[in-house]
Amino acid sequence: MSEHRLPPGPRMPAAMQSVGWWARPIAFLERARARFGKTFTVKLLGQSPFVVISDPADLKAVFTADPDVLHPGEGARILEPIVGPTSILLLDGSRHLSQRKLVLPAFHGKKMEALSEVVTEVAEREISSWPEGGQPLHPRMQKLTLAVIMRAVFGLERGERFDRLISVLTEMMEFGTSPLSLLPPFQRDWIPGGSWPRFRAARAAADAEIYGLIAERRAAGDAAEGDDVLSTLLLATHEDGEPMSKEEIRDELLTLLVAGHETTATELAWCFERLVRNPRVLARLVAEIDAGGGDYVTATVRETLRRRPVLPMAQPRKVESPFELGGRVYEPGANLFPSAYLVQHDDGIYPDPYEFRPERFLDQDPGTYTWIPFGGGRRRCIGASFAMLEMDIVLRALLSRSEVRATSRGVELAARRGITVSPSLGAEVALTPRVNAPAAPEPAAVS
Ligand code: HEM
């Protein structure tokens, strides 16, 4: 599509827009909206222009478009070295749908109930090892959500294999946090000082561990017994009755790890960053947790995801055939980029959008196209319910045990870390044991 037919946007050179986009993404989005409105075009170095959209009617049209017309998978292609070619993040059209159908059952009904117990166990264990005093919560949350994924997705408890796999996976994911290393020109063995050879070695080691795990589980034939996601994938079959290949299973496990670990950890870090700076909300939340209630906890999780979406943008959708939106026809090659941050900070939808106020979700469920921290349509986050369940469990576990206070008065800025936007100081808080901690429930009588 010729560029002059795209909506107007910042006129700075692409290099300067890229710096703003990477260094201060939220300020960049706010400034562009103030100048150009809910829809504008952003130009980033080495990429075709992105049209940022944030009007609920446009979001609905994009999320419900024909899967052959808009392709989100293309935008995630840079993740291929980590997640592999059959990852649902990367596929489009019918191949995406059939792969997604194989993974979805792992996060439904009974499976989720079983996962809830697993998450509670892991969260309690992790949190009980945290020291008192001032500390950034983000790294602690990262360790916690990684342990949760290893158990809930891979079925692994702490032990030698757990440690080996965590060590190589962490090395692979570190590679993914550098924007340069994800660009194909930098993925060469011969670049002096480049991290590509180390990454390839870590990936080979991770693959060997995961294939070993799959082979053992298949040989033991106990897949049906497991409550983890791997069990579901081992039993899943394609439409022609064929089981998933070990490469496909590996790709989806890695996808769930990459998509589900850092996002949830960062969202939890933001939740506490917001809570300690909003003592009224914190006090009400603690009272609700002590009373065993649920509505205010859910509302707090939803408000965190509104106020601080860790992915301020869903995946960009590449236009494959002419697509009409808001009175304009987008030609193949254009990219439509739904913004959760902007629609969730639209004062026509959310009064006082910069206030952290869970009450807004007490009488009203979030709207499908006005609350989109998990994206939407056929690409909506597969782990959304799981992530919210995990946040609920961690909030309860930590606030029942500890008093949480701010260590500074200033607000933590939104800083980019890889693809997520996280609190600039790592969500610094002070933890002290609660003097009035609620009594532990009586153990159930055994008859
Ligand atoms: C608070 C935590 C999380 C947030 C904010 C989040 C957000 C998102 C977003 C914005 C997308 C793109 C949706 C779109 O473009 O329409 C996505 C996709 C995805 N997420 Fe999450 N996510 C979180 C946690 C998780 C967890 C825990 C898992 C799995 C264990 C997970 C697995 C996935 C997968 C597999 C996709 C790709 C879906 C597809 O393309 O069909 N996410 N997530």
Q: What tens digit of pLDDT does each residue of 223-252 get?
A: 556 889 999 999 999 999 999 999 999 999
Cα–ligand 1 centroid distance for 372 (angstroms): 11
CA dihedral 127, 130, 134, 139 (to 10 degrees): -80
What's the confidence (pLDDT) of residue 443?
40
Backbone angles phi, psi at 65, to 5 degrees: -65, 160
Arithmetic mean of pLDDT, 21-25 = 91
Instruction: Confirm or reject: Cβ of 380 under 6 Å from ligand 1.
Output: yes
What's the confidence (pLDDT) of residue 203?
93
Q: Compute the distance between CA of residue 148 and CA of residue 370 in angstroms, rounded to an integer.
A: 30
Closest CA to 140 of 428, 435, 434, 392: 428
What is the per-residue pLDDT across 59-70, written as a single tens digit (0 to 9) for each? 999 999 999 999
Nearest-atom number in ligand 1 for the CA of 317 is 15
Residue 422 β-bridge partners: 415
Q: What is the pTM of this model?
A: 0.94
What is the per-residue pLDDT across 198-216, written as a single tens digit (0 to 9) for each? 888 999 999 999 999 999 9
Closest CA to 24 of 318, 307, 341: 341
Closest CA to 72 of 305, 376, 416: 376
What's the confidence (pLDDT) of residue 193?
55
Pick the range with the lowest mean pLDDT from 112-116, 273-277, 342-346, 433-437: 433-437
The residue whose C-alpha atom lies closest to atom 13 belonging to ligand 1 is 375
Q: Compute the distance between CA of residue 250 and CA of residue 245 in angstroms, rounded to an integer.
A: 9
Confidence of residue 4 (pLDDT cuts 50, 70, 90): low
Instruction: Confirm or reject: Cβ of 310 under 6 Å from ligand 1.
Output: yes
End-to-end CA distance of the chain: 73
What's the confidence (pLDDT) of residue 226?
82
Pocket test for ligand 1, best of 341, 381, 421 (most atoms within 8 A of CB): 381
Nearest-atom number in ligand 1 for the CA of 100 is 41
What's the confidence (pLDDT) of residue 1?
54
Cα–ligand 1 centroid distance for 433 (angstroms): 34
Pocket test for ligand 1, best of 374, 389, 395 (most atoms within 8 A of CB): 374
Confidence of residue 440 (pLDDT cuts 50, 70, 90): low
What's the confidence (pLDDT) of residue 48?
87
What is the per-residue pLDDT across 30-48, written as a single tens digit (0 to 9) for each? 999 999 999 999 999 888 8
Q: 181's torsion region: left (phi>0), alpha (psi -120 to 50) or beta? A: alpha
Cα–ligand 1 centroid distance for 406 (angstroms): 30
What's the confidence (pLDDT) of residue 2?
52
Closest CA to 419 of 177, 171, 101: 177
pLDDT above 90 covers a percentage of the chain that reads 77
How confident is the prediction for the chain on average, in pLDDT? Answer: 90
What is the per-residue pLDDT across 278-329, written as a single tens digit (0 to 9) for each? 999 999 999 999 999 899 999 999 999 999 999 999 999 999 999 999 999 9
SS (H, E, C) the chain: CCHHHCCCCCCCCHHHHHHHHHHCHHHHHHHHHHHHCCCEEECCCCCCCEEEECCHHHHHHHHCCCCCCEECHHHHHHHHHHHCCCCCCCCCHHHHHHHHHHHHHHHCHHHHHHHHHHHHHHHHHHHHCCCCEEEEHHHHHHHHHHHHHHHHCCCCCCCHHHHHHHHHHHHHHHHHCCCCCCCHHHCCCCCCCCCHHHHHHHHHHHHHHHHHHHHHHHHHCCHHHCCCHHHHHHHCECCCCCECCHHHHHHHHHHHHHHHHHHHHHHHHHHHHHHHCCHHHHHHHHHHHHCCCCHHHHHHHHHHHHHCCCCCECCCEEECCCEEECCEEECCCCEEEEEHHHHCCCCCCCCCCCCCCHHHHCCCCCCCCCCCCCCCHHHCCCCHHHHHHHHHHHHHHHHHHEEEEECCCCCCCEEEECCEEEECCCCEEEEEECCCCCCCCCCCCCC
Nearest-atom number in ligand 1 for the CA of 310 is 5
| pLDDT of residue 174 exceeding 80 | no
Taking residue 37's Cβ as centre, other Cβ atoms within 10 Å add up to: 12
Confidence of residue 134 (pLDDT cuts 50, 70, 90): very high
Cα–ligand 1 centroid distance for 90 (angstroms): 13
Instruction: Confirm or reject: Cβ of 115 under 6 Å from ligand 1.
Output: no
What's the confidence (pLDDT) of residue 79?
85
Q: At what angle do helices 137-152 and 246-276 cross, to 10 degrees?
A: 150
Instruction: Confirm or reject: Cβ of 381 under 6 Å from ligand 1.
Output: yes
Instruction: Confirm or reject: Cβ of 56 under 6 Å from ligand 1.
Output: no
Arithmetic mean of pLDDT, 118-143 = 96
| pLDDT of residue 447 exceeding 50 | no
Instruction: Confirm or reject: Cβ of 311 under 6 Å from ligand 1.
Output: yes
Q: Compute the distance between CA of residue 213 and CA of residue 368 in angstroms, rounded to an integer.
A: 38
Confidence of residue 441 (pLDDT cuts 50, 70, 90): very low
Cα–ligand 1 centroid distance for 333 (angstroms): 24
Domains of the chain: 80-308+370-433 (1.10.630.10)
| pLDDT of residue 142 exceeding 90 | yes
Of residues 364 and 446, more confidence is placed in 364
